[in-house]
């Protein structure tokens, strides 16, 4: 018969047993020992011993009404006695008159408990040392665990479809969803692709401006495929010590292989995927070590196991070419700003989460938000819901959406901003200068709204123009018409007030940018023709422009830009001179109403 091993008892059992034994000793054995050492006598015996001069020390216990004393017995040894105390006023005199000197100890001290002495002298110090030892031991173990975890990946893992997202939650990115649908199909039915010899793309790079839904698309792929989803940011690989980022990459791919089929998503991959050799970094740089390990891991894992690497960036021009070659990131999927139909779809998706009051014209809102990303449109819906609550409504109305568009574009209304009558008049003529110049040109977008209400963005007023449809190409005439419209505000100031103000600062900046692009990038200058004089870097972020010409040519470019703006300014002045009567008439109306719609403006202009 096999003997079962005796399980070890926990230490707490021994601790409790020892404590019980000590308490038993204190309650039973100690009183017995005390009683065995003390002789109980009556009060008369005590007085007799006093008379015989054999009492050496007397202790009076007023609490227990006892007298404890030491005396010499017949054999000549000291013994301890105790007797009941009897009220005797002559006791002290008798003790003083005894034959032998008597020591008085006052009130008899109570004997110390051995349990208390044992606890204070032994147990408490031991517990303190043991506790300190346990504390420092845990600290050391924690540091060791942290040291061992330096190379562990801290990717967030969403098992199965816990991302809660599917392609139904993604709107306005039909081309991107179509490109990613093959990955989902492969993860669902890999045998169908294996029969023909097709292999799953190892990686797909999502490229686009911020807020277009790159992370949402990756989560939707995992939700559609119903597979584990590893999500990590590129910055989480960057460590202080060289080699730790590479260790995290190894651990990430190890976990992904164990949970295959799965999807690994690295957000902002440009953090670790920048071109090697740039910025003066050496071969031992931590970022380069991490990138080299990432390249090695992408070469090493087998895509037939169903591990798909998705990455997102808005700086594709900064990525290392080795990362973009086929066999690593096989697909580059653009996630661009949505078009008109896409914006309508995005607004409808986000509006499902908000109570809306019918009818709602999402097309009008979409036309007014050209160039907006999905995140901007979601913000517009939320701002409209917040405004509806502020106004005491139970549902969002069309006016809430229109006002939220203006909040995103120009900021909130500054209700406490008090402009002087002179300033209000100058702002009104300035904005009408833009509007009339735009309306009198054949290549300008229609005027949708004019207001002289100050906004938190710093604008004292603005003229809103909305295209009827998205424009993908801009002709030279249309670009020049935009220049003329931008200079219309300054032209009105000069004609009416014979001066200029700082209100045209933003107009001047925009006009200079358009004119420079016409000369350097679009080939719309008669002097330079189809000659590229400037390149654009980071098109998805700030779109910085860098001249690619000599300093002499750059000076000529500046002259050409100035020539274009001057020509546009002269055109705007000519248009306003031809419509001076309407300018004064509509300005009076605008000063009274503060805000007029595009329809009101056209009726007054064409009346």
Q: What are the extents of the domains in the chain?
A: 38-111, 115-151, 156-334, 340-410, 421-606
Q: Which residue has the higher pLDDT, 14 or 258?
A: 258
pLDDT by residue (tens digit) across 121-144? Answer: 666 667 776 677 677 667 666 655
What topology does CATH give the domain 38-111? 3.30.720
Q: How confident is the model over 206-235, as a mean pLDDT?
A: 85
Q: Which residue has the higher pLDDT, 361 or 62?
A: 361
Q: Which of 492, 448, 461 is nearest to 594 (CA)?
A: 461
Q: What whole-number distance in Å separates Cα of residue 437 and Cα of residue 433?
A: 6
8-34 burial by CB neighbour count: b if 16+ within 10 A, else e? Answer: eeeeeeeeeeeeeeeeeeeeeeeeeee
Residue range 340-410 forms a domain whose CATH class is mainly alpha
Split at pLDDT 50, 70, 90, the class of 161 is very low
Q: Where are the beta strands (DSSP E) in 456-552?
A: 462-465, 534-537, 544-547
Q: Of 72-76, 166-170, 525-529, 571-575, which range is least confident?
A: 72-76
Q: How confident is the model over 159-188, as a mean pLDDT?
A: 78
Q: How confident is the model over 92-97, as a mean pLDDT?
A: 68
Q: How many Cα neighbours within 13 Å face the side chain of 67?
A: 24
Query: What per-residue confidence (pLDDT) applies to 412?
Result: 75
Q: Which of 49, 262, 69, 293 is nearest to 155 (CA)?
A: 262
The residue to which tokens 């209304």 are assigned: 413
- State both tokens at 385: 């819901």
Q: What whole-number distance in Å separates Cα of residue 260 and Cα of residue 255?
A: 9
The pairing of strands 462-465 and 447-451 is antiparallel
Say whether domain 156-334 belongs to CATH 2.40.70.10.
Answer: no
Q: What whole-number distance in Å separates Cα of residue 245 and Cα of residue 251?
A: 10
Active-site residue flag, 286: no
Entry pTM: 0.68
Q: What whole-number distance in Å separates Cα of residue 579 and Cα of residue 605?
A: 9
Split at pLDDT 50, 70, 90, the class of 442 is confident
Q: What whole-number distance in Å separates Cα of residue 516 and Cα of residue 534?
A: 9
The residue to which tokens 């106004």 are assigned: 391
Q: What are phi and psi of 395, to 5 degrees?
A: -150, 160
pLDDT for 582 beyond 80: yes
Q: What whole-number distance in Å separates Cα of residue 274 and Cα of residue 379?
A: 32
Q: Of 32-41, 76-85, 306-315, which range is least confident?
A: 32-41
Q: What whole-number distance in Å separates Cα of residue 233 and Cα of residue 229?
A: 13
Across the chain, mean pLDDT equals 79
pLDDT for 576 beyond 50: yes
pLDDT for 9 beyond 50: yes
Q: What are phi and psi of 554, to 5 degrees?
A: -60, -35
DSSP structural state of residue 416? T
pLDDT for 460 beyond 70: yes
Q: Which of 416, 512, 423 is nearest to 461 (CA)?
A: 423
DSSP bridge partners of 333: 206
Q: How confident is the model over 467-487, as a mean pLDDT?
A: 89
| Sheet order of strands, 262-267 included | 156-158, 229-233, 262-267, 307-313, 203-207, 331-334
Q: Is 66 helix (H, G, I), strand (E, B) or coil?
A: strand
Q: Which residue has the higher pLDDT, 20 or 163?
A: 20
Q: What are phi and psi of 453, to 5 degrees?
A: -85, 125
Q: What's the angle, vertex CA 332, arms to CA 330 and CA 333, rounded to 5?
A: 130
Helix residue spans in 391-441 (DSSP H): 398-410, 421-439
pLDDT for 335 beyond 70: yes
Q: What whole-number distance in Å separates Cα of residue 331 and Cα of residue 334?
A: 10
Q: What's the angle, vertex CA 419, arms to CA 418 and CA 424, rounded to 5?
A: 145
DSSP structural state of residue 283? T
Residues 431, 478, 509, 552: which is the catalytic one?
431
CATH superfamily, with its number, for domain 421-606: Peptidase M41 (1.20.58.760)
């Amino acid at each position: 018969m096999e003997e079962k091993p005796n399980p070890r008892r926990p230490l707490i059992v021994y601790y409790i047993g020892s404590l019980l034994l000590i308490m038993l000793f204190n309650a039973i054995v100690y009183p017995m020992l005390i009683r065995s050492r003390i002789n109980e006598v009556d009060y008369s015996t005590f007085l007799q011993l006093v008379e015989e001069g054999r009492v050496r020390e007397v202790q009076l216990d007023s609490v227990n009404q006892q007298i404890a004393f030491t005396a010499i017995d017949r054999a000549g040894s000291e013994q301890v006695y105790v007797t009941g105390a009897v009220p005797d006023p002559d006791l002290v005199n008798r003790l003083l008159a005894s034959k032998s000197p008597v020591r008085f100890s006052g009130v008899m001290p109570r004997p110390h408990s051995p349990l208390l002495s044992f606890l204070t002298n032994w147990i408490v110090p031991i517990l303190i040392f043991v506790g300190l030892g346990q504390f420092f031991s845990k600290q050391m173990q924690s540091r060791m665990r942290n040291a061992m975890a330096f190379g562990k990946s801290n990717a967030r893992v969403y098992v199965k479809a816990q991302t809660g997202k599917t392609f139904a939650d993604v709107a306005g990115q039909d081309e991107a969803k179509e490109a990613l649908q093959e990955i989902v199909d492969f993860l669902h039915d890999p045998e169908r692709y294996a029969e023909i010899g097709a292999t799953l793309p190892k990686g797909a790079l999502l490229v686009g401006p911020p807020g277009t839904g790159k992370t949402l698309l990756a989560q939707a792929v995992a939700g559609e495929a119903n597979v584990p989803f590893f999500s990590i940011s590129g910055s989480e690989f960057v460590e202080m010590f060289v080699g730790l980022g590479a260790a995290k990459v190894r651990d990430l791919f190890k976990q992904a292989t164990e949970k295959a089929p799965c999807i690994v998503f690295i957000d902002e991959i440009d953090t670790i995927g920048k071109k090697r050799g740039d910025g003066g970094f050496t071969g031992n740089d931590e970022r380069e070590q991490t990138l080299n390990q990432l390249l090695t891991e992408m070469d090493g894992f087998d895509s037939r196991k169903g591990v798909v690497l998705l990455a997102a960036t808005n700086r594709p021009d900064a990525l290392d070419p080795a990362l973009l070659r086929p066999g690593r990131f096989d697909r580059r999927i653009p996630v661009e700003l949505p078009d008109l139909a896409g914006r309508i779809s995005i607004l409808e998706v986000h509006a499902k989460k908000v109570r809306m009051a019918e009818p709602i014209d999402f097309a009008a809102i979409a036309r007014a938000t050209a160039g907006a990303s999905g995140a901007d449109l979601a913000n517009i819906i939320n701002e409209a819901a917040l405004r509806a609550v502020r106004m005491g409504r139970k549902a969002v109305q069309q006016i809430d959406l229109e006002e939220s568009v203006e909040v995103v574009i120009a900021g909130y209304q500054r209700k406490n901003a008090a402009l002087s009558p002179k300033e209000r008049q100058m702002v009104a003529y300035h904005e009408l200068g833009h509007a009339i110049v735009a309306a009198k040109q054949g290549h300008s977008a229609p005027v949708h709204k004019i207001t002289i209400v100050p906004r938190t963005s710093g604008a004292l007023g603005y003229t809103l123009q909305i295209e009827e449809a998205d424009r993908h190409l801009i002709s030279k005439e249309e670009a020049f018409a935009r220049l003329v419209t931008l200079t219309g505000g300054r032209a009105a100031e000069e004609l009416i007030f014979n001066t200029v103000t700082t209100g045209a600062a933003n107009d001047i900046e925009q006009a200079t940018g358009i004119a420079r692009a016409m000369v350097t990038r679009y080939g719309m200058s008669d002097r330079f023709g189809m000659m590229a004089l400037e390149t654009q870097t980071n098109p998805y972020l700030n779109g910085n422009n860098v001249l690619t010409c000599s300093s002499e040519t750059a000076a000529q470019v500046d002259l050409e830009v100035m020539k274009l703006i001057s020509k546009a300014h002269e055109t705007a002045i000519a248009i306003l001179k031809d419509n001076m009567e309407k300018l004064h008439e509509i300005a009076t109306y605008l000063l009274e109403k503060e805000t007029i719609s595009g329809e009101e403006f056209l009726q007054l202009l064409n009346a």
